[in-house]
A and B are shown apart, each in its own frame.
Chain A
Amino acid sequence: MIRRKEIFFRLGLVIALSATLLALVLPVVAIFIQSGPAELLASLGRPAAQDALVVSLRSAAICLVVVVAFGTPAAYLLATRRFPGRAAVITAVELPIVLPPSVAGIGLLAAFGPHGTLGGTLESLGINLPLTAAAVVIAMVFVSGPLYIRQAQAAFAALDPRLAHASSVLGVGEARWFGRVAVPLAAPGLGTGATLAFGRALGEFGATLMFAGSLQGVTQTLPIAIFEIFGTDFTAALAMGALLVAVSAALLLTVKLLGARHGAEPAYPHAALSLRS
């Protein structure tokens, strides 16, 4: 009986993985099956595709800098402090993850649009955000920031509290602890968060379209360019889709490889070294 149960269990595992592959991998693989290498190269030659790729990569890079610069200390604070309303703050920060793109776009317009909450203030400062390159970055920050902060918070929370205690006994200030120990130790988690955030920023579509519009070379990102061409030229849309998949996959793989190398180093001696220097 036990043997039979084991066989059924293993069979179940294989079926579950097959179903997972069918649902998650086939649509991605199909893009490459349907668009040959020749079409892929031809799509790279399209000025619209090149412009869109540049806009996407540039905006996502700026977005990542902003998210890491503000998200890392914010996540550290949320991970290490207990204060009234902390749960509410964390929920509010994570909420954009589950919001549909249309709501994100409406929200950004309601906040920063000409008739929006901050619209008057921005106008008096001579700042106009909607339909600008900055709007693309803002939309990306809104949707990708929570992914990074979530990961970073978990990474900081996972640090051994005895380490923090030991360093405070040794007279190491918190600022120094944060820069020399906490961030390096949490680096793998931060790296994962940054990758997820960058990938999400590259894939951002709906909120960008509503808040930043679509102008080639300025605000038209690769996902928007793909959707625009989809109606008239399915082959080109497929090829540009393949381009986006290739860029995203290369990115994920790079971080995975980097993470594997760092993960091999023992964490504690590294921390001790940082404290001494």
Chain B
Amino acid sequence: MKWPGAIALAIVALGISGCADGDDRKTMTVGAAASLVQPITAFAEEYEARHPGARVRIEFGGSDTIAARIRQGIAIDLYVTADATIAETLHDEGIVRRPVAIARNRLVVAARKDGPIADFDDLAKPGVRVAIGGPNVPIGAWAREALSAKGDAYAIQVMTNVVTNELDVRGVVGKIELGVVDAGIVYRTDVPTFDTAVAVLPFDLDDTPPIIYSAAVTTDVTRGDEANRFIAELAGAAGRELLTNAGFGPP
């Protein structure tokens, strides 16, 4: 084999081996819902500082995507989900231990302050532009449920003002922030508290079933003690403070 060929082969081989993960048994891997990026990242930093030697790696993603990865046998020690029903299903399947509720989110209407929407009635006025999630994504399903709770006629009025069914909650938030729509239905925690351009109108808590976030240790966990301690502190005072600051309520 000539040199260029050998070099190319070596590069490919190196590349492939580089992609494969180093099996570091000292690190605990957490798979967490994307909406938790800010509080969980902060919590993990504090956790590592509090417990010398502890190493936490966090993979963020959609709750259903992480669940699918765990089912496929990808090594995750701890699962933190934005949808407690997924954790319950995994528990029934024997893939995770009993889930612990850690926080509660709620649905809000996020409206541009320079726009025409000041209250829930404005949402149903003809000509306003509203973004919600699609019927098949969690945020869209919750939104439809919450609107129906305020009356079918109201829900139909609002639905005629919907100009886009976004594929995830980030899509809804982005459309509001760019002023492409006047308002949208999102989770409370998706609107940063420092965002001065967007006003928040919370739905009543009983407009939707509780939106509970939970955490569970996987059954083939490699860092079981570590994972249990992580959950206990996350559900305890240390985690509570960070979650509250990020806009989450107690479960």
* Residue ranges of A at the interface with B (Cβ–Cβ < 8 Å): 109, 113-115, 130-131, 209-210, 213-216, 219-220, 224, 227-229, 231-233
Contact = CB atoms under 8 A, between A and B. Distances in A.
A181 to B, nearest CB: 45
B178 A109 contact: yes
Contacts of A231: 64, 136-137
Given A109-B178, A114-B178, A131-B164, A228 B129 contact: no
Secondary structure type dominating chain A contacts = loop
A131 B179 CA distance: 11
Contact of B164 (A113, A215, A229, A232): A215
Interface residues of B, number: 19
Contact of B165 (A109, A220, A232): A220
Nearest to A105: B174
Contacts of B175: 131, 213
Interface of B: 64, 129, 131, 134, 136-137, 162-167, 171, 174-175, 178-181
Contact of B180 (A114, A214, A229): A114
B167 A215 contact: no
A215 B181 contact: no
Contacts of A210: 171, 174
Interface hub of A219, A224, A229, A231 (most chain B Cβ within 10 A): A231
Contact of A130 (B64, B134, B166, B180): B180
A214 B164 CA distance: 5
Given A219-B164, A224-B167, A232-B136, A213 B131 contact: yes
24 contacts: A109-B178, A113-B178, A113-B179, A114-B178, A114-B179, A115-B179, A131-B163, A131-B164, A131-B180, A213-B131, A213-B166, A213-B180, A214-B134, A214-B165, A214-B166, A214-B167, A215-B162, A215-B163, A215-B164, A219-B164, A220-B165, A228-B165, A229-B136, A232-B136
A130 B131 CA distance: 12
Nearest to A229: B136
A229 B165 CA distance: 12
